Structure 1
Amino acid sequence: MTPSPTSPAPRPPHTLRTVLPVVALCWLAVFFDGMDVTIYGAVMPHMLDDSGLGLTPADAGTIGSWTTFGMLIGALTAGNLTDWLGRRLMLVASVSVFSVGSAVCALAGGIGPFGVGRFVSGLGLGGLMPLCLALVMEFAPPRRAALTTGLLMTSYHAGGMAATGLGLTLAPAAGWRWVFWAGVLPAVVAVPLLLALLPESPGVLLARGEREQADAVADRYGLPRPTAVAAPAAGAKGRLAAVRALFRPDSRWATPLLWLASFCGLLLVYGVSTWLPQMMRASGYGLNSSVSFLLVINAGGIVGLLIAGRTADRFGAVRVSAIWFVLTAAGALLLKAHLPLGATYAVVAVTGVWLFSAQVMVYAATDTVYRGSERAAGLGWVTGVGRTGAVVGPWLIGALADSGNESWGFTTFALAGLVGAVAIALVPLARRIGRSGAPATVALAAGASPSKG
């Protein structure tokens, strides 16, 4: 019997398997993001030894901050352009831009042009992460948001490991510039795949008035059809309304706490990604060992994300993030001591397990604070404000290195971990206070049950 034209086509179940193509494409994009971010730290010791370039530790820290400042601008710009281009094309544009920036770095004859290249890379990198996170969380099955987010972010560390491998093999043999030429690969590999295979967000399609296309994408991947409540509002007024919604009564105190936790988390992520090899080299380890620590900490990051995603789905992203931040602080303090090489590798690996996934669980925690229509704006602002930590981290450690105080960098990382733990741990209490409008003591005395996370 032929189905009537109005009958909906059979829908696949909404499981991780049905949305795996979307997760895989975003995984590839974030893989190249992690590779591009980590390339700089992986080749920095070689660049500092290149007298023709004239790079000093202070310059290196400043250029690292230019990258993350570009990311901040890129994240804010991507939100505006998404209204016209959609998430799919903005993701393609982001990959293309940071590939161009890598080519500029490879061609740079001095620190000025090199800094411009890193800034351009940052513009592309800044928009990519929130776009991928928003897409994956929109497509993720119910009660699997944290696991899917953790799975996505393993790609960042796989990319970091690839960059470190290039730094260990290609840089000594052919020079640091060839490592940046490898950073042009995303434009060749990822862009055609994203254009051909990545679907647009059903919520964005609905917000643009494309109801049939939105329903078609949702049906193809087994998603619930989007409603006006779940769709992000378009235009400048829509974005302003989305930002105001982040400060509605039950999230007005949780929002700045998420921002602070993200600031601390990204200070750790980008401070470590940029400076760990040079900090370990200054602590007395050899050049190859110092760069290898970056490989090891990213390997730990992959393991940590797989553990954190499953653990957060069971116990809540907020709890996991807070504990992981505390363990990161402990690992940073242990690295301050000059341990035997084998013990140091073990500490670096275990610290990687906690450090990167602490920040990713901050992203996952936004799903417990914001409604569907606010998710993209909430993620964008948590990521964007957190980028200020990514700007401060490389600059601050660079200033410490220039004064010969690299060891204080580990103390800085430990303090960031403790502050991040306190901030994210207070999010459930802040939501209860916002809902009740009462002081904390009254809310607790009333026996308000904690929110998820």
Structure 2
Amino acid sequence: MTAPQGAAPERTFRSVAPVIALCWLVVFFDGMDVNIYGAVMPHLIDDKGFGFTASTAGTIGSWTTFGMLIGALGCGTLTDWVGRKPMVTGSVALFSLGSAVCALAPTAAVFGGGRFIAGLGLGGLMPISLAIVAEFAPRRRAALATGLMMTSYHAGGMAATGLGLWLGPDHGWRVVFWAGVIPAVVAIPLVLKWLPESPGVLLAKGRASEAEAVAARYLLPSPTLAEAPEAGAKGRFAAVASLFGPGQRFATPLLWLASFAGLLLVYGVSTWLPELMRASGYSLSSSVTFLMVINAGGIVGMLVAGRAADKFGAVRISAIWFLLTACGTFLLRAELPLGVAYVIVFMTGIWLFSAQVMVYASAPSVYTPAQRATGLGWITGVGRTGAVVGPWLGGAVVSGGNASLGFTTFAVAAVLGAVAISLVPLVRRSRRTPADEGVSTASPGTESTGPVVLGHKEGKILPKH
């Protein structure tokens, strides 16, 4: 079907495939690096000469996610200033360096330092990739594009589990961490050559002709001053402050709380599922395989949730998925036959990971294009406090020898996430002001097509959605 005469060509997945493919690749390596730690955890603990215990492992897991917190907050705020491409390149280089430090680490303390360095890169990469996909995705398909990209995280998790099962028993955990250096060799050259810069960022840097060229190549709307982030340090502070403007001041902390609960689940389960299943009586090989099964469920869940969110709204799907996650994790408290346990873990993976991703997909319904990267950076950054708590909490539970309590704790976190994300549209409706009437509350798959109007503050041009 061709566009009507005189109409702009419709942006499709094919027209932006190189951008989404590059984001898919770097997030694949992100997922691989995050899940490598959980995949080799049993071998680390069994390496008596290295001095790892369940408690030490949980603490170092929290160092990783603390690095992610700093990376997400820093990159989410700086990416509009420095640019998307340099921040993606730097993030990949950091977590590759961290993996090399872990592979060479003589002590647990140095190993923890390597995981912290890796966390800085891992935390920064995710909000940037989400912002890129949200900007370049086809109209009314933003949630599906986000889910499609995030399948790579779970494909990376499955690859990490496969490396742990294949290399860990015979070659040791250090060899597995050397695989984490591959992204620096493979991804960085491709990003430098093929990843486009955001037209809005280019316009903010005064590179208007380049911004127009990128927009034309990928069939994006021509960037406007309203969509260009304000430059300089003052602009970065203003961008963060704008997240608490009319219609957003209550939605922002609720998105943060939902992200906290979601990332507590994602990183708590990814780090400790093998040990929790082992404590429930399953064998070592079966316990590690559960990590691959839950990530396989995650891949299916991203595709299902993305399509459902484009039709019914990301907020609604996120809330339902959180509640289903609570049911799945609570069921794992019971001592189940191995086959039944695999099915429940797979189904829980469908809901658990995409519940968190749909929190991200909800952000465009709350924030304007100029706020998107900063908003996503702070949603993922503040949410990383949940990622810090998750591995630590799992370590405390495993140290106490009570796997049932661990699964119950994760179920409660899922209910908390469902409540928080469900309240977002309510506070948006109840706190709207006349100045906020132009802010979109459409589902994240929609795109602004309205004219640009003059705002009331300081004579700035503001987008009407």
Aligned to 1:57: 54
Please list every run of 5 or more consecutive structure 2 residues that lacks an aligned counterpart in the other structure: 1-6, 435-439, 445-465
Q: Which residue of structure 1 lines up, in the alignment, with residue 369 of structure 2?
A: 372
**Cα displacement (A) at 1:75:** 1.6
Q: 1:260 aligns with which of 257, 260, 273?
A: 257
Partners of 1:452 and 1:356 in 2: CA distance: 20
Distance 2:269 2:386 in 1: 12
Bigger shift: residues 249-258 or 177-186: 249-258
1:32 to 22, 29, 32: 29
Structure 1 residue 338: deviation in Å? 1.1
Specify the SS of the correspondent of 1:293: helix
Q: Please give the alpha-carbon distance, in whole angstroms, between the structure 1 residues aligned to 2:165 and 2:9.
A: 45
Aligned to 2:150, which of 142, 145, 153? 153
Match of 2:402? 405
**Equivalent residue, structure 2, for 1:317:** 314
TM (normalized to structure 1)?
0.93
One of 118, 128, 132 as aligned partner of 2:129: 132
Q: Deviations over 1:339-383 (max 9, x none)?
A: 000000000000000000000000000011111111111111111
Q: CA deviation at 1:77?
A: 2.4
Query: What amino acid is aligned across from residue 188 of structure 2 in structure 1?
Result: V
Structure 1 residue ranges, 4+ long, deviating more than 6 angstroms after superposition: none
**Which is worse superposed, 182-191 or 402-411?**
402-411
Alpha-carbon shift at residue 180 of structure 1 (Å): 0.2
Alpha-carbon shift at residue 18 of structure 1 (Å): 0.3
Query: Residue 184 of structure 1 aligns to a residue in which SS?
Result: helix
Pairing 1:339–2:336 present: yes
Q: In the alignment, residue 226 of structure 2 is paired with which amino acid?
A: V
Q: Distance in 2 between matches of 1:192 and 1:377?
A: 26
Is 2:421 aligned against 1:424? yes
> Which residue is 2:164 aligned to?
167
**8 Å contact 2:79–2:373 — kept in the other structure?**
no
Distance (whole Å) between structure 2 residues aligned to residue 83 and residue 148 of structure 1: 21
Question: What is the root-mean-square deviation in Å for CA atoms of aligned residues?
Answer: 1.6
State the TM-score, normalized to the length of structure 2.
Answer: 0.91
List per-residue Cα deviations over 1:239-263 (Å, max 9, x = no partner): 2211222111211111111000000
Is residue 395 of structure 2 the alignment partner of residue 388 of structure 1? Answer: no
**1:232-311 → structure 2 map (5 Å cutoff):** 232-311=229-308
Superposed displacement of residue 108, structure 1: 0.9
Secondary structure at 2:282 match in 1: coil
Which of 120, 124, 127 is matched with 1:123 structurally? 120
Partner of 1:180: 177
State the alpha-carbon separation in 1 of the partners of residues 88 and 131 from structure 2: 11
Partner-residue secondary structure (3-state), 1:183: helix
Q: In 1, Cα distance between the equivalents of 2:361 and 2:195?
A: 22
- The residue aligned with 1:445 is none
The more displaced of 288-297 and 85-94 is: 85-94
Segment of structure 1 superposing worse, 236-245 or 161-170: 236-245
Quote the residue 2:458 is aligned against: none
* SS state at 2:222 partner: coil
8 A Cα contact 2:365 2:441, kept in partner: no
Rounded to whole Å, the distance in 1 between the matches of 2:118 and 2:193 is: 24
> 1:80 offset after TM fit, Å?
5.0
Asked if the contact 2:76–2:376 (Cα under 8 Å) also holds between the matched residues in 1, the reply is: no
What residue identity is the alignment partner of 2:227?
Answer: A
The 3-state SS of whatever aligns with 1:288 is helix
Q: CA deviation at 1:452?
A: 4.1
1:227 aligns with 2:221: no
Could you tell me how far apart the structure 2 residues matched to 1:281 and 1:245 are? 47
Q: In the aligned structure 1, how far is the partner of 2:401 from the partner of 2:108?
A: 21
Q: Does structure 1 retain, via aligned residues, the 8 Å contact 2:77–2:374?
A: no
Determine the structure 1 residue equivalent to 2:83.
Answer: 86
Alignment partner of 1:416: what SS?
helix
Equivalent position SS for 1:370: coil
- Larger deviation, residues 201-210 vs 75-84: 75-84
Measured after TM superposition, the shift of residue 81 of structure 1 is: 4.2
Cα distance in 2 for partners of 1:13, 1:317 equals: 23
- The answer on 1:98 being equivalent to 2:118 is no
Q: Secondary structure at the match of 1:407?
A: helix
Name the amino acid aligned to 1:183. G
In structure 1, the residue matched to 2:18 is 21
Residue of structure 1 equivalent to 2:189: 192
Identical positions, percent = 70
Most deviating of 226-235 and 36-45: 226-235
- Does the CA-based 8 Å contact 2:50-2:107 persist in structure 1? yes
Q: Shift of the alpha carbon at 1:436?
A: 5.3
Amino acid of the residue matched to residue 97 of structure 2?
V
Name whichever of 83-92 and 143-152 sits farther off. 83-92
Partner of 2:450: none
Cα distance, 1:83 vs structure 2: 5.0
Q: What are structure 1's unaligned runs of at least 5 residues? A: 1-9, 438-448
Supply the distance in 1 between the matched residues of 2:379 and 2:370 (Cα, whole angstroms). 15
- Please state whether the residue corresponding to 2:336 is helix, strand or coil: coil
2:215 pairs with 1:218: yes
- What CA distance in whole angstroms lies between the structure 1 residues aligned with 2:253 and 2:374? 14
**Matched-pair contact (CA < 8 Å) for 1:232–1:376:** no
Verify the 8 A CA contact 1:102 1:183 in the aligned structure 2.
yes
What's the CA shift for 1:229? Answer: 1.2
Letter in 2 for 1:243: V
How far has the Cα of 1:234 moved from its partner? 2.1
Question: CA-to-partner distance for each residue in 1:25-75, whole Å, 9 max, x for gaps?
Answer: 010000000000000000001111001111011100000000000011112
Q: What letter is aligned with 2:200?
A: G
AA partner of residue 238 (structure 1): G
Looking at structure 1, the residues matched to 407 and 16 of structure 2 have their Cα atoms a distance apart, in angstroms, of: 40
